[in-house]
Amino acid sequence: MADNYTVIARRYRPTTFEEVVGQEHIATTLQNAIRDNRVGHAYIFTGSRGVGKTSMARIFARALNCEKGPTPEPCGACEICRASIEGTDPDIVEIDAASHNSVDDIRQLREGIRYAPLRARFKVYILDEAHRVTASAFDAFLKTLEEPPPHVKFIFATTEPGKLPETIHSRCQRFDFRRVTTADVVKRLRQICQRESAQADDAALAMVARAGRGSMRDAQSLLDQAIAFSGGTLTAERVQELVGTLPREALLEIFDRVRARELGPVLRALDASVSGGRDPADFMDDLVEHARALMLLRAAGRDAGLVDEAPDTLERLVAQAESYSVDELAGAVSLLSDVKRRLRDASDPRIVAEVALVKLTRLADLATIEDLVRRLEGAGGGVRPAARQAAAP
């Protein structure tokens, strides 16, 4: 039975435009293009990993080739749609550009383009990791991309659009995929848990979503592990054991202690993390992320939309941010970011982390000193040394 198990990320891969979470702006544009008969011949789908680029490309290809189409809503039931969903449609060609990126590979692709689709309306080529194609291979592809046969469509999926030649950009329509918000990820994970008959509290799902860092696929993979690890009942404590990240509740507590200049509890939090098997650098990662959220909220306000959190958590972050000055929080981010870099080469990372936490609890003093220096410099262009008394004749 275990040999037949299909992971959650594959079982719940989107099959319709509406199921691609967080990319409504792209889904709507592509659907309108189909509806208005304004479909281009080449597209660039760009964004971080796990945000739906390849899934959207497959759905778009299915919408173009559906027996009831081209249609903004592929039926999912016809022979072509079913083959596309199963990954067996010969007219939707997926190419891993990471391993098929040479001039010879592109020549083979060009040779295949000459032939009409076997049964569908279009032959759709999806090049994943397109930025891995060599410059010479792209050069060999330019003429084909500029004037392809009418039965051919190209979709380039990439996480690094800057590595694509400008000559490729100029011949394609570009769509930028957004990182999926924590709220959207949690909503989707909750739906999956219900269908998997798994129990999960909100804090546990929020931790999984945060650990996914905007990637729906990564979050689903973590959820798969969490369900297996917890026996189908997910709690924040069990998820923390699995992913290692500090829960938001713990981070709020740490920064309350920092505000109160209570060093002991802060050092004990580090000790508990390290004793649990975590690297001090991972602990610092969590602190940097939390300090950054506070800084953005204090400097720009919650309405700026710069901090991606659930509404109830956001309220608590705003309240905590208001207990600090902008300078203190900027100093915390700077201090912790610098320590992260130093930890890579430290012979004893824990000591470096402990020194950083001591400094973190003294942020108010450091900010006061910096403010004093600025005021002195502003008053007279710098601190002037006292005039020396002239020597007696």
Distance of CA 241 to the CA centre of its chain: 22
Q: Is the pLDDT of residue 377 over 80?
A: no
**Secondary structure letter of residue 387 according to DSSP:** P
Residues β-bridged to residue 125? 93, 154
Does any domain span residue 385? no
Which pLDDT band, with edges at 50, 70 and 90, does 286 fall under?
very high
The angle subtended at Cα 241 by Cα 239 and Cα 245, nearest 5°, is 75
Examine the fold and report which residue of 243, 265, 281 is the final residue of a domain before the chain moves on.
243
**pLDDT, tens digit (0-9, with 9 covering 90-100), for 107-128:** 888 888 888 998 899 999 999 9
**Residue 313: which of 266, 260, 256, 251 has the closest Cα?**
251
Work out the burial of residue 207: count CB atoms within 10 Å of its CB; fewer than 13 is exposed, 13-18 middle, 19 or more buried: buried
- 104 and 212: one domain? no
Find the CATH number of the domain harbouring 150: 3.40.50.300
Does any domain span residue 123? yes
- 197 and 130: one domain? no
Residues β-bridged to residue 176? 46
Residues β-bridged to residue 174? 44
Does any domain span residue 85? yes
313-319, Cβ contacts within 8 angstroms, sequence gap of 24 or more: 313/206, 313/248, 316/248, 316/252, 317/252, 317/293
- 137 and 218: one domain? no
Q: Give the residue numbers spanning the domain of 119.
A: 2-176
- 39 and 61: one domain? yes
- 303 and 323: one domain? yes
Q: Is the pLDDT of residue 132 over 50?
A: yes
Per-residue model confidence (pLDDT) at position 59: 96
- 168 and 199: one domain? no
Decide: 123 and 129 in contact? Cβ < 8 Å. no
Distance of CA 218 to the CA centre of its chain: 9
- 338 and 356: one domain? yes
Among 121-125, 135-139, 189-193, name the one with the lowest average pLDDT: 135-139
Q: How large is the average pLDDT for residues 288-300?
A: 95
Q: How large is the average pLDDT for residues 35-47?
A: 95
Which pLDDT band, with edges at 50, 70 and 90, does 390 fall under?
very low
36 versus 103: which is more confidently predicted? 36
Mean pLDDT for all residues in the chain = 88
Per-residue model confidence (pLDDT) at position 375: 59
Among 105-114, 192-201, 324-333, 352-361, name the one with the lowest average pLDDT: 105-114
Residues β-bridged to residue 333? none
Examine the fold and report which residue of 176, 196, 226 is the final residue of a domain before the chain moves on.
176
Does any domain span residue 348? yes
- 101 and 20: one domain? yes
Does any domain span residue 391? no
Examine the fold and report which residue of 160, 176, 192 is the final residue of a domain before the chain moves on.
176
Does any domain span residue 383? no
Find the CATH number of the domain harbouring 289: 1.20.272.10
- 102 and 135: one domain? yes
- For residue 72, is the peptide bond before it cis, meaning its omega torsion is within 30 degrees of 0? no
Does any domain span residue 380? no
> How many independent structural domains does the chain possess?
3
- 190 and 208: one domain? yes
Q: Is the pLDDT of residue 378 over 80?
A: no
Per-residue model confidence (pLDDT) at position 374: 61
Find the CATH number of the domain harbouring 209: 1.10.8.60
**pLDDT, tens digit (0-9, with 9 covering 90-100), for 225-273:** 999 998 889 888 888 888 878 888 899 999 999 999 999 999 999 999 8
Per-residue model confidence (pLDDT) at position 244: 78
Question: What's this model's pTM, rounded to 2 decimal places?
Answer: 0.79
Q: Is the pLDDT of residue 384 over 60?
A: no
- 152 and 221: one domain? no
Q: How large is the average pLDDT for residues 278-299?
A: 93
Which pLDDT band, with edges at 50, 70 and 90, does 158 fall under?
very high
Does any domain span residue 234? yes
Which pLDDT band, with edges at 50, 70 and 90, does 102 fall under?
confident
Per-residue model confidence (pLDDT) at position 388: 45
- 126 and 216: one domain? no
